[in-house]
Amino acid sequence: MNNIGLEHILFVSIALFFIGCYGFMTRRNLITMLMSVELVLNSVNINFIAFNKYLFAGKLDGVFFTIFIITIAAAEAAVAIAIIINLYRHYKSIDVEDADQMRF
């Protein structure tokens, strides 16, 4: 346990991924669900960086994937929050159970 290897970092990222999954399954509030998705995306980023560092130190591909994921996550968060604010204007609530107009 003395020197930190790939598996230690993979443990952190896997745990963070499933914490995000747990949050996504239990939360019913759109903003907190968005936060859970951010946790999942971040765990994927840790994976890319760790594999790049410990297995493919001669390349930079993991770094590029991480940069693109961060960019897309930012775009996704902005669009999601625009949708959430629009939804709040219609329903005065951002609970997913209340936004049921498009059901069935």
Partner 1 sequence: MNSLQFIVIAANKIIFLTASTIIFYILAAIVLGGGLLAVTSRKIFRSAIYLLFSLIGIAGLYFYMNYEFIAAVQIVVYVGGIVVLIIFSIFLTHEAGADMKRPAWTRIIFAALAALFGFALVMMLVRDNEFYPSGAPAVDAGAGSIGSQMLSTTEHGYILPFEVVSMLLLAAMIGCIVIAIKSRTPGTETADNQSRRDAFGTTDNL
Establish if 44 lies at the interface with partner 1 (CB under 8 A).
no
Establish if 96 lies at the interface with partner 1 (CB under 8 A).
no
Distance (Å, rounded) from C-alpha 43 to C-alpha 81?
A: 21
Establish if 89 lies at the interface with partner 1 (CB under 8 A).
yes
Establish if 90 lies at the interface with partner 1 (CB under 8 A).
no
DSSP 96: T
Q: C-alpha angle 95/31/50, rounded to 5°?
A: 140
Establish if 27 lies at the interface with partner 1 (CB under 8 A).
yes
Contact residue for partner 1 among 6, 90, 96, 98 (CB under 8 A) = 6
